[in-house]
Amino acid sequence: MARQGKRGGAARLRKPAAIGQRGRAIVPVDVVTRDKRAAILTAALEEFSSAGFAAARLDDVARRAGVAKGTIYLYFRDKDDLFQELVRGTLAPLIGIVEGLRDTDIPMRALADHIAELFVTQIYMTNRKNVVRLMITEGRRFPKLAEFYYREVLSRMIGALRALLQRAADRGEVSPALVQFPQILVAPGIVAIFWEGLFDRFEPLDVRALMKAHLQLVLVSGRAP
Amino acid sequence: MARQGKRGGAARLRKPAAIGQRGRAIVPVDVVTRDKRAAILTAALEEFSSAGFAAARLDDVARRAGVAKGTIYLYFRDKDDLFQELVRGTLAPLIGIVEGLRDTDIPMRALADHIAELFVTQIYMTNRKNVVRLMITEGRRFPKLAEFYYREVLSRMIGALRALLQRAADRGEVSPALVQFPQILVAPGIVAIFWEGLFDRFEPLDVRALMKAHLQLVLVSGRAP
Amino acid sequence: MARQGKRGGAARLRKPAAIGQRGRAIVPVDVVTRDKRAAILTAALEEFSSAGFAAARLDDVARRAGVAKGTIYLYFRDKDDLFQELVRGTLAPLIGIVEGLRDTDIPMRALADHIAELFVTQIYMTNRKNVVRLMITEGRRFPKLAEFYYREVLSRMIGALRALLQRAADRGEVSPALVQFPQILVAPGIVAIFWEGLFDRFEPLDVRALMKAHLQLVLVSGRAP
Amino acid sequence: MARQGKRGGAARLRKPAAIGQRGRAIVPVDVVTRDKRAAILTAALEEFSSAGFAAARLDDVARRAGVAKGTIYLYFRDKDDLFQELVRGTLAPLIGIVEGLRDTDIPMRALADHIAELFVTQIYMTNRKNVVRLMITEGRRFPKLAEFYYREVLSRMIGALRALLQRAADRGEVSPALVQFPQILVAPGIVAIFWEGLFDRFEPLDVRALMKAHLQLVLVSGRAP
DNA sequence: AATGAATGAGCGTTCATTCAT
DNA sequence: TATGAATGAACGCTCATTCAT
């Protein structure tokens, strides 16, 4: 692509053709649209995940989504936009999950297990795992996307975690180091995401156990004596 | 892909320091060979690091290394081979570093700082950081490489750490969980490697402090009271 | 192509590999280069002429030039550049031809025939005819090229003609209107260039006779009584 | 191709002035049809004129005409047909204008100005200018169209002019050369049409003055003494 | 060993055309 | 008649790889 300098902004989607006065369509038009868009996103995730963004072919994405190649361009400006929409759309909902933690006030022991469980069920066992990996893996070449992710997701997660940890630290329940570096909490989760697909075939990793052990260690055992 | 800026003016290839009029071989061939191979590997690391494996152009690698494009093929079978050699050659020496820990028997408090220091000086502040990132980032598409890395490097690191941690656990100094999941020790290091380049511009991360805090937390504070 | 906004400047050609100290090559490298470049330009002219710039396929240009498609890009930045180089290279020499007229001082009757002859032999019967047509036909979409053509060729031609006509007008030999509108001199030549290929099959046009008649008319018969 | 700017914000299609709730046919179908066809032709002229036939997008034509893309195909077989209908419909009326000259018998001096005026007001200052340019520019790829234009328009214009000029030549008022080459009369007009858009920004051209000067020159001054 | 011009398969993107509604 | 989502052939451009020198 002799290419422009990025393209900024959001997706310029087909405006889904108002459902019609007398109900021409049995299936609402915007459901079809959503379906096609979703099919493309799903297919893209699979192709991007297995081949990497650069090596993934839109031909394969289209085939896997069951649409023609040109159809992709009805929903996404270009390959970059498709990638960014995939990441945005998948990771944005994470905000809510973690924001929910903000005002939690359960005991550390239970909280550790709760966070571990959230990670496993809300990320590791879902599509989001692959999207997180893609975000981290390809993010350097999508500065706008990295910024979005930091501003909309990461900084809020960190903020919520900090608030939670600060209160616990004030009560002497956790090390103040965690307030400074909340990244410590999720680090093994990130490692687990990469471990799978690289080394799982040599040495499988029990992610739930790993996360629980880790969180017990830093949240519970780590409390001041 | 967007293949943005790049390409710009960029340094024209500096002919390799004119070896004299006719004298092809004042410098022993072996050294020249090693030099050229090394130059290519160095150039490759820089290009792969900044553009990613797929988007990196061998043209740029050659230019940066000060050799002709064809020369790369005298030293490496193809682009894949160049990548794998880069990772192998750079990460293999890591084995020694960790093996050295195997028989260490210093106090946990000191050991935490020692490992943190090792990570920062031997990986984070060197080229190896970029190679580790590349290994993790692109490793899925190089199963042979992942296998090499696991067998030659990772499993030995893990083995050494386990031995160390097992002894400490036997003395009740660290949680047995660490023996089961030594990945916990280095997880924040991995996160830090990705954090840079993605989010550093929004929120810089003091890697040394992070590693020390983390290791104190899991190795020292974590001991049974 | 998401595409850049034009590219300005001249062609970035292969620097033709200095002919070598001890004469490795029998055929000088830059002759080969010139040949290939010239072959591409010739092929491009034929394809552009018959299909128009937009509809011409670089595949066909390459095939006709006897080179691979990628080879075109060793000599020209892109399709636009190829077109512009074709026009520049072909029309630039026209300057000299007309500049030569500047100091002519032959009688009008002879001058009319001379200019007609110049047009016919130097433009109409050569490749330049097609390039002039392309320049006029496609020039709107190549503002840089139109500017080049105006500055380097047209304004000089007009200047030379004006000087010539002014002197003749001062002597009362030609109408002052020609000094104001030297375009009148060549207008039938432009028409002839388009006539061919459009209407020649219905009504052939004797270009030499047309030009001579026209120039006699405006240069000679037109003189004040 | 470069397909530069274009695309910009641009007017969203203004729904065709809401024809009422259910009333499909307040306006007679014929008129609506004529309107839509005309709107498409007008839009096509603007798009073809500014982008050239090949680079013009039917999407843009539709948007500019305020109809859906598919609607174009209700009125025209395909893009080629649209182009040909545009040229035919616009240029056919020219016949009448020139036929009117056939029996004129005004003095040369007045006739020169009359023809100049006709050209300026009937072609240069109207849409026809653009259509003439398109016809000449793209005509090579539309042999049928060129034939139509020659047979229906050009040959009649030439015939009318010849008749007129023949009578004047018989009376010794104009050069017999003009009878042979009536193209000479309009040549500067063709040049003017191309001059605009190519070189007008560097050197504007007073078309009316040009045409009057030219026609005075060849019709009036040129008469035998 | 070293070069770099040449190759051509491959891919992203466009857009005329179709057709179900 | 009108729509506009969908199609897929087509084309410009890239770049890993080859090979004559």
Query: Using an 8 Å Cβ cutoff, are A44 and A86 in contact?
Result: yes
Sign, Cα dihedral of D50, D54, D55, D60: positive
Give CA separation, C83 vs C8, C80, C91, C151, in Å.
Answer: 13, 5, 12, 18
Under a CB-based contact definition with an 8 Å cutoff, are residues A157 and A88 in contact?
A: no
Tell me which residue in B4, B51, B184 faces A5 most closely, judged by beta carbons.
B4
pLDDT tens digits along C83-125: 999 999 999 998 888 778 777 778 888 889 999 999 999 999 9
Tokens describing residue A33 = 């649209």
Radius of gyration for chain C, computed over Cα atoms and rounded to the nearest angstrom: 21
Chain A residue numbers with beta carbons less than 8 Å from the beta carbon of B224 are 221
C-alpha span between B16 and C25 (Å, rounded) = 24
- In this structure, which long-range contacts are made by residues C11-16, counting pairs with CB atoms below 8 Å and at least 24 apart in sequence? C11/C75, C11/C76, C11/C77, C11/C81, C11/C85, C12/C77, C13/C37, C13/C75, C14/C74, C14/C75
Count of CB atoms within 10 A of residue A109's CB? 12
Q: Are B84 and B138 in contact (CB under 8 A)?
A: no
Name all chains with 3 or more CB-CB pairs below 8 Å to chain A. B, C
Phi-psi region of A10 (alpha: psi -120 to 50; beta: other; left: phi over 0): beta
> Is B131 in contact with B88 (CB distance < 8 Å)?
no
Instruction: Give the whole-angstrom CA distance, residue B184 versus residue A205.
Output: 12
| Maximum separation of any 2 CA atoms in chain B, in Å | 75
In whole angstroms, give the CA distance from residue D172 to residue D163: 14
Hey, are the CB atoms on C55 and D141 less than 8 Å from each other?
Answer: yes
Nearest CB among B52, B183, B191 relative to A141 is that of B52
Q: Extract the tokens encoding B22.
A: 């006719």
C-alpha to C-alpha distances, A9 to A80, A139, B198, nearest whole angstrom: 12, 17, 19
Question: Could you give the dihedral angle defined by the CA atoms of residues B24, B26, B29 and B31, in that order, rounded to the nearest 10 degrees?
Answer: -130
Distance B215 CA to E10 C1' (A): 49
Q: Is it the case that chain C and chain A have 3 or more CB pairs lying under 8 Å apart?
A: yes
Contacts of C108 in chain D (CB under 8 A): none
Nearest to A61 by CA among A73, A45, A77, A75: A45
A78 touches chain C (CB under 8 A): yes
Q: Report in angstroms the alpha-carbon separations of D62 from B85, C47, C73, C118, D46.
A: 56, 30, 36, 47, 12
Rounded distance between C-alpha atoms, residue B80 and residue C109, angstroms: 75
Per-residue pLDDT of chain A (225 residues; tens, 9 = 90+): 333 333 222 222 233 333 333 333 444 445 566 699 999 999 999 999 999 999 999 999 999 999 999 999 999 999 999 999 999 999 999 888 877 877 777 888 888 999 999 999 999 999 999 999 999 999 999 999 999 999 999 999 999 999 989 999 999 889 999 999 999 999 999 999 999 999 999 999 999 999 999 999 999 865 544
Reading the block at residue D7, the tokens are 């695309």
Instruction: Map residue D121 onto helix, strand or coil.
Output: helix
CA of B78 to C1' of F17 (A): 8
| Nucleotide whose C1' lies closest to the alpha carbon of residue C76 | F13
Tell me, in Å, how far CA of D71 is from C1' of E17?
12
- Residue B2 to residue A141: CA distance in whole angstroms: 9
**Residues contacting residue C14 through CB under 8 Å, at least 6 positions apart:** C33, C74, C75
Please name the residue of chain A whose CA is at the shortest distance from the CA of residue B191: A187
The DSSP string of chain B is ----S-SSS-PPP---S---SS-TTSS-HHHHHHHHHHHHHHHHHHHHHHH-TTT--HHHHHHHHTS-HHHHHHH-SSHHHHHHHHHHHHHTTHHHHHHTTTT----HHHHHHHHHHHHIIIIITSHHHHHHHHHHHHGGG-HHHHHHIIIIIIHHHHHHHHHHHHHHHHTTSS-HHHHH-THHHHHHHHHHHHHHHHTTTTS---HHHHHHHHHIIIIIITS--
Separation between the CA of C68 and the C1’ of E6 (whole angstroms): 8
Please list every residue in chain A whose beta carbon sits closer than 8 Å to the beta carbon of residue B214: 177, 181, 184, 187, 218
* CB of B163 within 7 Å of some strand F atom: no
From the CB of residue C3, how many other CB atoms can be counted at a distance below 10 Å?
16
Measure, in angstroms, how far nucleotide F6 C1' is from residue A136 CA: 34
Map tokens 């690191």 to a residue: B157
Neighboring chain C residues of D57 at a CB cutoff of 8 Å: none
Nearest to A221 among B140, B199, B222 (CB): B222
Chain D residues with beta carbon closer than 8 angstroms to that of C140: 52, 197-198
pLDDT score of C32? 60
The answer to whether strand F lies under 7 Å from the CB of residue C25 is yes
**With an 8 Å Cβ cutoff, is C80 touching chain A?**
no
Mind telling me how many Å the CA of C181 is from chain D's nearest CA?
A: 7
Extract the residue ranges of chain B whose pLDDT is less than 70.
Answer: 1-33, 222-225
Q: Is the CB of A13 under 7 A from strand F?
A: no
Number of neighbouring beta carbons within 10 Å of residue A36? 18
Residue with CA nearest to F11's C1' atom: C57
Please list, in sequence order, all residues whose beta carbon lies within 8 angstroms of the beta carbon of residue D48, skipping any fewer than 6 positions away. D56, D83, D86, D130, D134
Strand F atom within 7 Å of D165 CB: no
Residue C180, pLDDT score? 96
- Residues 66-125/A with CB within 7 Å of nucleic chain F are 67-71, 73-74
Smallest CA–CA distance, residue D212 to chain C, in Å, is: 10
- Taking only the tens place, the pLDDT of each residue in A151-198 is 999 999 999 999 989 999 999 889 999 999 999 999 999 999 999 999
Strand E contact nucleotides, protein CB < 7 Å: 1-21
Q: How far is the CA of D114 from the C1' of F14 (A)?
A: 59
pLDDT by residue for chain C (225 residues), tens only, comes to: 333 333 222 222 233 333 333 333 344 445 566 699 999 999 999 999 999 999 999 999 999 999 999 999 999 999 999 999 999 999 999 888 877 877 777 888 888 999 999 999 999 999 999 999 999 999 999 999 999 999 999 999 999 999 999 999 999 889 999 999 999 999 999 999 999 999 999 999 999 999 999 999 999 865 544
For residue D209, CA distances in Å to D109, D206, D215 come to 15, 5, 10
